[in-house]
Structure 1
Amino acid sequence: MITVYGIDVHLNPIKAKMSDALHRCMTSALGLPEDKRAHRFVPLEKTNFYYPGGRSEKYTVIEISMISGRTEETKKKLIKQIFSAFERDLSISPIDVEITIFEQPSHCWGFRGITGDEATLSYKVNV
């Protein structure tokens, strides 16, 4: 699951394009299937979104929650792909993108009425 935060006037017009860019990165780096898209956008008024100096109003925060098991190399590949895609496809400089990956063991996830450790997934987690 991905949650994206940004200033509303900059985030709202590009949400669909941003979702497409994120999904391409997730399928490429993690091997997720095409139908595995779970993105949440949180557009904030400028007065509710403080960001570090040296950043523009395009500053975007991306939080990725996933079942633990991916290698350090795979997670770094994902992060770098997102930086590249945002710069190439959305004209958002890497200085304006902050990415955090949160991992939890599969038994801490619940979906489809079961816990993650009970689920049979159509993709590999240990990549």
Structure 2
Amino acid sequence: MPATRIETRRGWIGERRLELIEAVQRGLQTGLRIPDHDRCIRLIEYDADALITPPGKGPFYLVIEIILFAGRSLEAKRRLYSALTEELAAFDVPAQDIKIVLVESDPANWGIAGLPASEIDLGYKIKV
């Protein structure tokens, strides 16, 4: 049940916004082993003067912030980082221009359909 935000400079994605979002979704599915219907991805594009990046980063630099339930293994996180990098290669985004930040939260801190997520059967395992 991750909530994912992609932030990058405006212009380079063009008409491929949905394709990029779907690529990130595939990376999440591969890495975290979530089902396809588990989707919450936002794409935010900034004007060039509204995003400062580290020196040496290219025009495709992006940050992917994923808020997710705590409990994934280091192996799952490695799988996620690798899958996202592979998916974004199709958009000519070099690995060194991808920053992925995981923010882990207890399921009790997520409200879903009026209940804490810790009280809901998600239909998949968190500890992968």
TM-score by length of 2: 0.93
Provide the rounded CA distance (Å) in 2 between the counterparts of 1:11 and 1:108: 34
Q: Report the alpha carbon displacement of residue 116 of structure 1 after superposing the two structures with TM.
A: 1.2
Name the structure 2 match of 1:117: 118
5+ long unaligned stretches in structure 1: none
Which moved further from structure 2: 9-18 or 108-117? 9-18
Secondary structure class of the residue paired with 2:104: strand
Decide whether the 8 Å contact of 2:31 with 2:78 is kept in 1.
no
Decide whether the 8 Å contact of 1:11 with 1:43 is kept in 2.
no
Residue of structure 2 aligned with 1:21, choices 6, 20, 23: 23
Instruction: Name segments (4+ residues, structure 1) moved above 2 Å.
Output: 11-14
Bigger share in helix: 1
Name the structure 2 match of 1:101: 102
Decide whether the 8 Å contact of 1:21 with 1:85 is kept in 2.
yes
Decide whether the 8 Å contact of 2:5 with 2:41 is kept in 1.
yes
Cα RMSD of the aligned pairs, angstroms, is 1.1
Name the structure 2 match of 1:92: 93
1:12 to 1:108, Cα distance in 2 relative to 1, 3 A? farther
Aligned length: 126
Provide the rounded CA distance (Å) in 1 between the counterparts of 2:109 and 2:37: 22
Q: Report the alpha carbon displacement of residue 14 of structure 1 after superposing the two structures with TM.
A: 2.6
